[in-house]
Amino acid sequence: MVMMEETGKRKSTPRSKTGCKNCRLRRIKCGEERPSCSRCVKSGLNCTFDPEPESSHGSGSFLTFSMRPDESGAPSETVAGYVPPGLKRKIEAQALRTQRKSRPVTKPLRNPNEKTVEEIQDYRNELQRVSPTTTSIPFQLPGNDEEKLHFYYFRCETLHDLGGHRHLDFWGKTVISYSQEEPVVRHAVLALSAFHRNRTFNQAIYDNNSMQQYNKALREVRKLMASQSNPPIEMILICCMIFYSIETTRGDHETASKHAKSGLQILKHFYPEMRAIGGSLKTPRKRKEIDRNLLALFVGTDLSLCGQDGYNRAPDFVTTTAEERSGKTPTMPAKFTSALQASVVSNKLVNWTFQIRALILQQWQETGIPWELPPHLVKEIEIIQSELHRWTWAFRRFVQAKKLARASRDELDDILCHQHQILMFKVKFPDLLIPDPKMLAGDIAKSLQMDYETKTKYFGEILSIFETLAVEFVAKDERPRFTVFYDGSINSLSLIGIASGNDSMRQRAANLLKIWPQKSGLTDGKRIGYAIERSLEIARQRREEFPEEDKDVFQDVIMSVLQDPAFQVTGEAITPSKPLATLTAHND
């Protein structure tokens, strides 16, 4: 009897974790043949496998998702998607594994929500501090209390830092509406809110909950792209923009740009005949109209990506018509009625500039003659210079009207920031349009060269704008602001502090950089401000020691200071770098 029992027993084998559902249920080894394993085929069973886990700690490279652009039976095409390399980091993987572990048995059993309640109360106190009007959650949203409060923080704080007053309609209406109906957008919004809060208050960027929400959103987007023949493009584009914002908040600009490029590629794939006319993209009749505020964000992001690529390519979207480029139709209305309208027109002018630059580079590569341009390009350059002048006057009238109408603080803040952007664009315009204006001949070359007095005048106007912002807005805002979408403030002040030939302007720029609350990506404005101030001190000593030397040594000194790894800023103090004598000798 004993012998029969022993021979009747099946040898114990480890339970399969990757086999089909039937073999795992029957506790037998699965051959894992696809699409049906051999055991299910012999038994006549319907063989099904669990979907392979979407690893969030992947290779950080582009993936391709099979999809069909229409309902026809045409062969599948592919569109690139992106898995951020930051999600494969060991610390994040370990944090997620720790979160999934069961509660230790040595601890007494308790309500699993008790800790959450304590954390939520602390979080509500924090919300009360940063937003005094926050007392309750005036909306219904799926999820626990912590998720609801993260969402409320997004509404109260995060969306205001996602691009200023101009994009409130998109973040405050379109995204909010989608997040209450679509889980994938909700996960992305909750992740962005948590990352933004951590970055704003200088807390740890890696948070279990935020990483988990981010992973969920990435997995859901990949499933949508891979499983549906006609996926919800607008929702996927919204997620791409949120992912772009998340990675910008985390300081990973390489991954952020890849998310944005994925969105642009998806747009071009599903709307190949779409063209940008009059500042907004017209979509084909066959497809659903894409939210115009979302498209405006992609157009602006497209320009930023061109800048990151060295302005050596044309933007993906053309925002001007042939009539506008020939001068037959003006590119702007008689007057601006909103900051968003002014922003759309200025983006159109910047886009037009990059298109001309690409044509000029192509012309020079084909002909090998850099000193000559075709007549139509010369005419376009003259037209766009005239349009820039018209934009400046129209925007000045708009600003004056807003001041008289007592516009809101957010709107005035946004208007002043945008005014500085267009002034800085005019300063950079010759270099953006043509790498070296000296390579041109004739009147067009002279018109592109900006003299020292004109550049100094523009720098002075930009500094006045920032000084107004510092007095009216920055000094009255106790909350440390972090602008997710590029506003250029840190870079503009840094350029003035470094490139200006006027020591007084350099000092004004340094003073602003030291107190400016915004962080512009990975650029540390406070460090640059202290570096400018220290370099001015070194340059003054150098001039006192060598009064006969005519060369402005400031440019050499500032580069030495910024490249010195020992030069650091801690709080309000500055860590000494090389001695003054060492830096002076280094630049002899």
What pLDDT, on the 0 to 100 scale, is given for residue 238?
Answer: 92
Backbone angles phi, psi at 69, to 5 degrees: -75, -10
What pLDDT, on the 0 to 100 scale, is given for residue 272?
Answer: 63
What pLDDT, on the 0 to 100 scale, is given for residue 410?
Answer: 65
| Cα gap 359→367, rounded to integer Å | 12
**In the chain, which stretches have pLDDT less than 50?**
1-11, 53-120, 123-124, 126-138, 276-281, 283-286, 486, 521, 570-588
Question: Residues near 394 by Cβ (< 8 Å), separated by ≥ 6?
Answer: 332, 334, 335, 336, 342
What pLDDT, on the 0 to 100 scale, is given for residue 243?
Answer: 93
| Cα gap 462→418, rounded to integer Å | 11
What pLDDT, on the 0 to 100 scale, is given for residue 202?
Answer: 65
Long-range contacts of 45-53 (CB under 8 A, 24+ apart): 47/20, 47/22, 48/20, 48/21, 48/22, 49/19, 49/20, 49/21, 50/21
What pTM was computed for the model? 0.63
What pLDDT, on the 0 to 100 scale, is given for residue 241?
Answer: 92
For the chain, the straight-line distance linking the first and the last C-alpha, in angstroms and rounded, comes to 100
What pLDDT, on the 0 to 100 scale, is given for residue 242?
Answer: 93
C-alpha torsion 65→298→308→433, nearest 10 = 130
| Cα gap 218→395, rounded to integer Å | 41
What pLDDT, on the 0 to 100 scale, is given for residue 137?
Answer: 47
Q: What is the pLDDT of residues 234-259, one digit of tens each?
A: 899 999 999 998 888 887 878 888 89
Q: Which helix (H) or strand (E) holds 568?
A: strand 568-570
Half-sphere exposure of 470 (CA within 13 A, CB side): 17
What pLDDT, on the 0 to 100 scale, is given for residue 537?
Answer: 86
Domains contained in the chain, CATH given: 20-50 (4.10.240.10), 122-259 (no CATH), 451-586 (no CATH)
Maximum CA extent, the chain: 112
Residue 184 exposed, middle or buried by CB count within 10 Å (0-12, 13-18, 19+): buried
DSSP 490: H
Q: What is the pLDDT of residues 120-168, one digit of tens each?
A: 455 445 444 444 343 344 455 666 777 888 888 888 888 877 766 667 7
Q: Which residues pair with 280 in a beta bridge?
A: 277
